[in-house]
């Protein structure tokens, strides 16, 4: 878990302007960059200007890999080094906590301690900090709970059920996303009422549910993700004096990934950078005031690239960037187009793809470096086959000196990870899944978190109800409803209703269960406070321990004998350790802070740069990251672009940007892979190469196995490809009738026929391969790679042993690497080439 630094003390009115603040702005030749020219060393002219420009608004259009992080950090470091700003006057917004931590570190690396007190965080974290301070002003407490999407979904589910809205065709997901969209547009229930048609029963029903949802959150003293932004904006608008506090404090606001901000975030930025009205300026201020006695708005720097806007689905509005100059008429615009990341071929491909989006400024990335290696293309028969290629290639790259952590595999949908994981595991590729179902999303962990949430925030009904019967206490839906009815009728919280269980006429068993639970929670809540004897309140670790023991949660899991529950018990134990660890790393941390962090971890925050593992993630998660070698998998129609995007306005263009983002993550090696058939929920469906592939000039891609090579079932190639002749290789090996030459037998895969020209020059020499496949007999086959695994823990292999593999046929063990459970066999297969296999899991047996 990535942990945020402790929240520094904050009092806006003690934040005084630095001596240098009255220096005329917009004079880049002022001494900071004279004496500290190191800040500008190695920057190109555009980057220099982006670092030194001073003025109210600056838009940096930064193409992928153009060094924008460097520009941002140097810009901030410059402000600090020249004493133009105190650290506390700087607010920098990044997309992930990890990016924030990195930026903070890099700035500290330049100016040292002078950077303490800056706010460098995500939109969400920054808003939580503000809301925790100001919550009391508008009916919340500072220990409010943050509901993640699963929590809010649970709440919506209950509301939909109670309103019997499903008969009108409402789905939980639909209602949830509609509410989220409205919140991102800052439209509250009243606003919706105004714009909707009251006589339409569906609108009326939705309005009622929206109102209830908002009311329930308020009652539970909770915010959902969208509220964190929206409520902050609302707070600023409703309480100008509170807004003024932050407007006075933050004199320099910088926003990264501006193309992915939604309307609420845009509004937040506008509120923060608004000038302070004279009546909100303290009489004794030492800040610069204008003619009317007000304080001018903070300077705003935004960095973005409209070609990398990939979050329109969650409300991101490209107009925020395209209309920046309209919103801030005096804005300066600087373009960064030189790319320092990728090789020429990769950039050419990226440019060629993105050029097909017509509604964009023409912008072209260029590099001073050479073209580099060609892009490698591969078409598998199935998702497993594709995954096997990825696994083999990862080993080959690793053998040629690329470390695992410098490689990444991207995919469009999380569902694609299954085949990838199966193959990577048995091929002994160390990998790490970024995102997907996270540790904190597991049911047992969510249960523990719910215990903690209700301890920290007793008003949190949703969390309380979640744990009412877990572990099983014999308190079913009937009891829950009775408690809820009582709470409603007497206008008390659910927790209070639990305390009064004896008045509700439950059976003795239920009554005792409820009272005990209420007592446990109340005691845990009380223990959080500083103790009367003068002792400090309970730590996070202590609280977790108390709750786990008091609820017998772990015990219940351990005695079921169910192997899945064993895994759950392990997770519980791990969570206890995480909590204890938090105590150590955050001696002053509170339970509320711990819960905040857990709620706001982003997928990309999980990346551990030290781990020696290949990273697997969705294309969305990949934004902002870079790797030496990148595999983009599933480059197929209906997957990338995804089928659902076709129906949405701007959908296909957004998919193209997503592909563009993926391509531009690669520094040196890029692989584009696809499969001719893909398993999707049980059935196997035929897949077609993505239209995006044809947008890349043929000479940039070297196909190890092109779509033409693997068309099966009678050999006719997809129409689209015939029409354009896009696949170099002409008739290549593609039309070889299926069923010839050993097809379908024990199989093995080989690099299918190449054109003579390719075979002589390109593939073999230009790319590191394990080599063994070369010279193997030509062979075509069906969906031979199965992803089968087997428990081989007892199998002992030695060099020279003959083995048989379900997919690769027979082979000879060449070497044994690793030890114990991680023993790896390096095997020369007779027809499939050399592979590394995890002995414990690979589907092999001794012959």
Partner DNA sequence: TGCCGATTCATTTTT
Partner DNA sequence: TGAATCGGCA
The residues that are catalytic are 68-69, 256-257, 308, 665
CB 302 within 8 A of CB 58: yes
CB 619 within 8 A of CB 661: yes
The two most distant CA atoms of the chain are separated, in Å, by: 91
Query: Rounded to the nearest whole angstrom, what is the least distance from the CB of residue 19 to DNA in the complex?
Result: 36
Query: Rounded to the nearest whole angstrom, what is the least distance from the CB of residue 472 to DNA in the complex?
Result: 4
Is there a binding annotation on residue 538? Answer: no
Query: Rounded to the nearest whole angstrom, what is the least distance from the CB of residue 682 to DNA in the complex?
Result: 3
Q: How wide is the angle at C-alpha 464 spanned by C-alphas 463 and 470, nearest 5°? A: 95
**Which residue shows structure tokens 């920098």?**
92
Question: How many Å apart are CA 692 and CA 690, to the nearest integer?
Answer: 5
Q: Does 552 bind DNA (CB under 7 A)?
A: no
Q: What part of residues 646-665 is at the interface with DNA (CB under 7 A)? A: 648, 651
Query: Rounded to the nearest whole angstrom, what is the least distance from the CB of residue 349 to DNA in the complex?
Result: 22
- Closer to DNA by Cβ: residue 660 or 703: 660
CB 350 within 8 A of CB 64: yes
Query: Rounded to the nearest whole angstrom, what is the least distance from the CB of residue 479 to DNA in the complex?
Result: 4
Question: How many Å apart are CA 278 and CA 828, to the nearest integer?
Answer: 79
Query: Rounded to the nearest whole angstrom, what is the least distance from the CB of residue 483 to DNA in the complex?
Result: 11
Per-residue burial over 72-104, b if 16 or more Cβ lie within 10 Å, else e, is: bbbbbbbbbbbebbbbbbbbbbbbbbbbbbbbb
With a CB cutoff of 8 Å and minimum separation 6, the contacts of 44 are 338
Work out which of 238, 478, 686, 817 binds DNA, going by CB under 7 A: 478
- Closer to DNA by Cβ: residue 526 or 644: 644
Q: Does 198 bind DNA (CB under 7 A)?
A: no
Q: How does DSSP assign 777-832, residue by residue?
A: PP---SS---------TT----TT-EEEETTTEEEEEEEEES-GGG-EEEEEETTT
Query: Rounded to the nearest whole angstrom, what is the least distance from the CB of residue 173 to DNA in the complex?
Result: 5
CB 752 within 8 A of CB 735: no
Point out which span in 189-197, 570-578, 678-686, 807-815 binds DNA (CB under 7 A): 678-686
Is there a binding annotation on residue 62? Answer: yes
State the CB neighbour count (10 A cutoff) for residue 122.
Answer: 23
Question: How many Å apart are CA 462 and CA 152, to the nearest integer?
Answer: 9
Point out which span in 116-124, 238-246, 338-346, 816-824 binds DNA (CB under 7 A): 116-124
Show the binding pattern over residues 272-311: x = contacts DNA (CB under 7 A), - = does not. Answer: --------------------------------------x-
- Closer to DNA by Cβ: residue 147 or 378: 147
- Closer to DNA by Cβ: residue 11 or 683: 683
Point out which span in 65-73, 196-204, 401-409, 475-483 binds DNA (CB under 7 A): 475-483
Work out which of 44, 149, 218, 545 binds DNA, going by CB under 7 A: 149
Query: Rounded to the nearest whole angstrom, what is the least distance from the CB of residue 379 to DNA in the complex?
Result: 22
Is there a binding annotation on residue 68? Answer: yes
- Closer to DNA by Cβ: residue 74 or 466: 466
Work out which of 252, 341, 642, 717 binds DNA, going by CB under 7 A: 642
Tokens, residue 537: 């309140």
What are the C-alpha distances in Å from 552 to residues 195, 549, 560, 742, 755? 51, 5, 13, 60, 67
Point out which span in 457-465, 472-480, 566-574, 833-841 binds DNA (CB under 7 A): 472-480
Sign for the pseudo-dihedral over CA of 729, 733, 738, 743: negative
Q: What part of residues 201-230 is at the interface with DNA (CB under 7 A)? A: 225-226
Question: How many Å apart are CA 803 and CA 788, to the nearest integer?
Answer: 16
- Closer to DNA by Cβ: residue 140 or 506: 506
Work out which of 196, 545, 571, 680 binds DNA, going by CB under 7 A: 680
Question: How many Å apart are CA 466 and CA 446, to the nearest integer?
Answer: 9
State the CB neighbour count (10 A cutoff) for residue 279.
Answer: 10
Question: How many Å apart are CA 92 and CA 76, to the nearest integer?
Answer: 9
Is there a binding annotation on residue 537? Answer: no
Show the binding pattern over residues 313-342: x = contacts DNA (CB under 7 A), - = does not. Answer: xx----------------------------
State the CB neighbour count (10 A cutoff) for residue 341.
Answer: 21
Q: Does 516 bind DNA (CB under 7 A)?
A: no
Q: Does 469 bind DNA (CB under 7 A)?
A: yes
Show the binding pattern over residues 815-844: x = contacts DNA (CB under 7 A), - = does not. Answer: ------------------------------
- Closer to DNA by Cβ: residue 426 or 668: 426
Work out which of 52, 88, 89, 96 binds DNA, going by CB under 7 A: 96
Work out which of 308, 351, 618, 705 binds DNA, going by CB under 7 A: 618
CB 779 within 8 A of CB 748: yes
CB 710 within 8 A of CB 752: yes
Chain centre distance of CA 647 = 25
CB 307 within 8 A of CB 354: yes
Is there a binding annotation on residue 602? Answer: no
Q: What part of residues 555-614 is at the interface with DNA (CB under 7 A)? A: 600, 602-604
Q: How wide is the angle at C-alpha 345 spanned by C-alphas 339 and 351, nearest 5°? A: 65
Is there a binding annotation on residue 66? Answer: yes
410: left (phi > 0), else alpha (psi -120 to 50), else beta? Answer: beta
Query: Rounded to the nearest whole angstrom, what is the least distance from the CB of residue 99 to DNA in the complex?
Result: 10
Work out which of 34, 282, 371, 474 binds DNA, going by CB under 7 A: 474
Chain centre distance of CA 175 = 23
End-to-end CA distance of the chain: 46
- Closer to DNA by Cβ: residue 257 or 271: 257
- Closer to DNA by Cβ: residue 403 or 413: 413
Point out which span in 239-247, 450-458, 471-479, 801-809 binds DNA (CB under 7 A): 471-479
Query: Rounded to the nearest whole angstrom, what is the least distance from the CB of residue 89 to DNA in the complex?
Result: 24
Is there a binding annotation on residue 698? Answer: no
Point out which span in 18-26, 38-46, 335-343, 645-653 binds DNA (CB under 7 A): 645-653
Candidates 466, 459, 462, 501; CA nearest to 482 is 501
Q: With helix as H, strand as E and coil as C, how does 90-157 read?
A: EEEEECCHHHHHHHHHHHHHHHHHHHCCCEEEEHHHHHHHHHHHHHHHHCCCCCCEEECHHHHHHHHH
How many of the chain's residues bind DNA (CB under 7 A)?
Answer: 46
- Closer to DNA by Cβ: residue 199 or 564: 564
Candidates 784, 104, 33, 798; CA nearest to 389 is 784
Q: Does 168 bind DNA (CB under 7 A)?
A: no
Q: What part of residues 404-423 is at the interface with DNA (CB under 7 A)? A: 412-415
Point out which span in 77-85, 351-359, 547-555, 617-625 binds DNA (CB under 7 A): 617-625
With a CB cutoff of 8 Å and minimum separation 6, the contacts of 319 are none
Q: Does 472 bind DNA (CB under 7 A)?
A: yes
Is there a binding annotation on residue 64? Answer: yes
Work out which of 45, 477, 535, 714 binds DNA, going by CB under 7 A: 477
Query: Rounded to the nearest whole angstrom, what is the least distance from the CB of residue 389 to DNA in the complex?
Result: 21
Q: How wide is the angle at C-alpha 795 spanned by C-alphas 789 and 797, nearest 5°? A: 110
Point out which span in 200-208, 530-538, 616-624, 818-826 binds DNA (CB under 7 A): 616-624
Binding site for DNA (CB under 7 A): 96, 122-124, 148-149, 157, 171, 173, 225-226, 310, 313-314, 412-415, 435, 469, 472-479, 510, 600, 602-604, 617-618, 620-621, 642, 644-645, 648, 651, 679-682
Residues annotated in the binding site for ATP, as ranges? 62-69
């Amino acid at each position: 878990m990535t942990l945020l630094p402790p929240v520094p003390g904050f009092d806006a009115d003690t934040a005084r302007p630095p001596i240098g603040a009255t220096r005329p702005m917009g004079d880049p030749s002022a001494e900071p960059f004279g004496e500290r020219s190191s800040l500008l060393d190695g920057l190109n002219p555009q980057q220099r200007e982006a670092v030194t420009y001073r003025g109210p608004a600056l838009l940096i259009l930064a193409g992928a890999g153009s060094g924008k992080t460097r520009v941002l950090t140097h810009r901030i470091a410059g402000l600090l080094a020249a004493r133009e700003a105190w650290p506390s006057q700087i607010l920098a917004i990044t997309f992930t906590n990890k990016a924030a931590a990195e930026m903070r570190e890099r700035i500290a690396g330049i100016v040292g301690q002078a950077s303490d007190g800056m706010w460098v965080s995500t939109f969400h974290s920054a808003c939580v900090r503000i809301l925790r301070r100001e919550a009391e002003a508008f009916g919340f407490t500072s220990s409010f709970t943050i509901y993640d999407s699963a929590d809010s979904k649970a709440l919506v589910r209950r509301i939909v059920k109670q309103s019997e809205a499903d008969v009108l065709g409402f789905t939980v997901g639909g209602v949830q996303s509609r509410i989220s969209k409205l919140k991102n547009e800052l439209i509250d229930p009243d606003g919706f009422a105004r714009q909707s048609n009251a006589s339409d029963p569906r609108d009326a029903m939705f309005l009622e549910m929206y109102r209830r949802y908002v009311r329930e959150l308020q009652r539970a003293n909770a915010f959902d993700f969208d509220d964190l932004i929206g409520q902050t904006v609302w707070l600023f608008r409703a309480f100008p004096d509170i807004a003024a506090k932050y407007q006075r404090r933050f004199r320099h606001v910088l926003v990264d990934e501006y193309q992915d901000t939604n309307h609420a975030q845009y509004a937040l930025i506008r509120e923060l950078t608004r000038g302070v009205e004279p009546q909100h300026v303290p009489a004794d201020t030492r800040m610069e005031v204008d003619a009317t006695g007000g304080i001018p708005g903070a300077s705003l720097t935004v960095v973005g690239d409209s070609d990398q806007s990939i979050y329109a689905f969650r409300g991101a509005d490209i107009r925020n960037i395209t209309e920046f100059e309209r919103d801030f008429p005096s804005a300066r615009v600087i373009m960064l187009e030189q790319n320092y990341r990728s090789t020429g071929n990769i950039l050419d491909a990226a440019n060629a793809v993105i050029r097909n989006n017509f509604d964009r400024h023409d912008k072209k990335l260029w590099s001073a470096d050479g073209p580099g290696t060609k892009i490698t293309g591969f078409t598998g028969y199935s998702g497993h086959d594709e995954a096997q290629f990825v696994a083999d290639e990862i080993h080959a790259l690793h053998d040629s000196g690329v470390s695992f952590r410098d490689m990444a595999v991207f995919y469009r949908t999380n569902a694609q990870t299954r085949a990838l994981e199966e193959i990577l595991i048995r091929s002994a590729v160390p990998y790490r899944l970024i995102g997907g179902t996270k540790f904190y999303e597991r049911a047992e962990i969510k249960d523990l978190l719910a215990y903690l949430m209700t301890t920290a925030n007793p008003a949190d009904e949703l969390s309380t109800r979640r744990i009412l019967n877990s572990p099983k206490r014999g308190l079913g839906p009937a009891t829950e409803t009775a408690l809820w009815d009582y709470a409603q009728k007497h206008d008390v919280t659910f927790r209070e209703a639990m305390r009064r269980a004896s008045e509700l006429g439950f059976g003795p068993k239920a009554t005792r269960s409820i009272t005990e639970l209420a007592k446990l929670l109340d005691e845990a809540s009380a223990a959080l406070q500083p103790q009367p004897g003068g002792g400090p309140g309970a730590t996070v670790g202590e609280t977790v321990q108390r709750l786990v023991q008091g609820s017998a949660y772990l015990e219940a899991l351990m005695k079921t004998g169910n192997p899945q529950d064993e895994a759950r018990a392990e997770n519980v134990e791990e969570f206890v350790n995480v909590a204890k660890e938090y105590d150590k790393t955050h001696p002053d941390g509170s339970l509320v802070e711990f819960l905040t962090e857990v709620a706001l971890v982003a997928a990309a925050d999980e990346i551990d740069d030290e781990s020696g593992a290949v990273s697997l993630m969705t294309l969305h998660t990949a934004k902002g990251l870079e790797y030496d070698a990148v595999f983009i998998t599933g480059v197929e129609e209906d997957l990338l672009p995804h089928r659902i995007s076709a129906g949405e306005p701007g959908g296909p263009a957004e998919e193209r940007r997503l592909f563009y983002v993926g391509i531009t993550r690669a520094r040196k090696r890029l692989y584009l892979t696809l499969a001719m058939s893909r398993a999707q929920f049980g059935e196997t469906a035929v897949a077609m190469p993505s239209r995006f592939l044809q947008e890349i000039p043929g000479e940039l891609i070297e196909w190890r196995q092109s779509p033409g090579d693997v068309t099966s079932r009678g050999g006719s190639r997809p129409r689209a490809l015939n029409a354009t002749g896009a696949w170099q290789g002409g008739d290549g090996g593609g039309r070889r009738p299926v069923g010839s030459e050993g097809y379908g037998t024990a199989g093995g895969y080989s690099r299918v026929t190449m054109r003579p020209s390719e075979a002589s020059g390109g593939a073999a020499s230009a790319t590191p391969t394990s080599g063994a496949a070369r010279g193997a007999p030509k062979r075509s086959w069906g969906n031979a790679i199965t992803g089968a695994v087997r428990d081989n823990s007892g199998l002992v292999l030695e060099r020279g042993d003959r083995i048989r593999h379900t997919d690769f046929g027979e082979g000879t063990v060449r070497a044994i690497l690793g030890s114990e459970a991680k023993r790896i066999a390096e095997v020369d297969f007779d027809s499939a080439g050399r592979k590394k296999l995890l002995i414990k899991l690979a589907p092999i047996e001794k012959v």
